[in-house]
Amino acid sequence: MELFHELRTPFLEEIKTSRVGQKHHSDAGVVDEVVDATLQLFASIVQHLLQQEQSPPALLLRNVDWHDFVINLMARFKDETGINVVEQFNELQQHDSLEVYTDEFENLRSIMLHNNHALPDPYILDSFLGVLRPAVKPFVRAFKPTSIARAVEIARLQEESLVLLIQTQKLINPCHQNPSKKYL
């Protein structure tokens, strides 16, 4: 393990000065997580090589170009959910209840924001409103909600009123409940 400590300091310095160590996020914790994960990977590589009694890690690491190492590391741990999330977010439709749609929308929105997709609030609100059911959408838009929470509240009221309307129609005109009985 002395070899690990000997290699750790230059490795840390290289991380701090490389693209991996630069702060691309406003949250420094994300960068710290990347550095910690990289160090853990580095430690496991060194331990594996020492256990396998292969070539000395110092010699092996000197022959690896840092740029190639970073590219290989990023390829190994690449997060491809970001691409799929954008696609899913753009294709999201309300097929089920408002609750199911809202949960799916909020889940995809949080993942997109976590992956640093900068989306303005009006765009998110328009995306939410744009795929509401046709019987609900115009009603919600008429109230000009300024937040998703307000839009959900208005949509809930409209869905409840539609359910009551359907139930009332069934009570008033039971023949339309099952058209085949009308002809029996």
- Burial of residue 108 (CB within 10 Å: 0-12, 13-18, 19+) is buried
Least confident among 85-89, 92-96, 120-124 = 85-89
| CA–CA distance, 148 with 123 (Å, rounded to integer) | 11
Ordered by start, the domain boundaries in the chain are 85-172
Q: How many CB atoms lie within 10 A of CB 13?
A: 11
- Helix or strand or coil: residue 157? helix
pLDDT at residue number 68? 76
Q: How much is the average pLDDT of 167-176?
A: 79
- Helices 148-172 and 121-130: crossing angle in degrees, nearest 10, is 10
pLDDT in tens, 36-60: 677 777 777 766 666 665 555 554 5
- C-alpha dist (Å) from residue 86 to 41, 101, 153: 29, 16, 26
Residue 39 tokens read as 């160090």
What contacts 181, CB < 8 A, 6 or more positions away?
Answer: 175
pLDDT at residue number 159? 92
Could you tell me which of 43, 55, 53 has the C-alpha nearest to residue 6?
Answer: 43
pLDDT at residue number 59? 47
* pLDDT band at 183; cut points 50, 70, 90: very low
Report whether pLDDT(167) > 60. Answer: yes
Contact 125, 151 (CB under 8 A): yes
pLDDT in tens, 52-87: 655 555 545 556 677 777 777 777 776 665 567 888
Share of the chain above pLDDT 90, in %: 27
User: Which of the given ranges, 12-16, 39-43, 171-175, has the highest pLDDT on average?
Assistant: 171-175
Q: How many CB atoms lie within 10 A of CB 114?
A: 13
pLDDT at residue number 172? 84
Report whether pLDDT(126) > 80. Answer: yes
Could you tell me which of 153, 148, 144 has the C-alpha nearest to residue 106?
Answer: 148
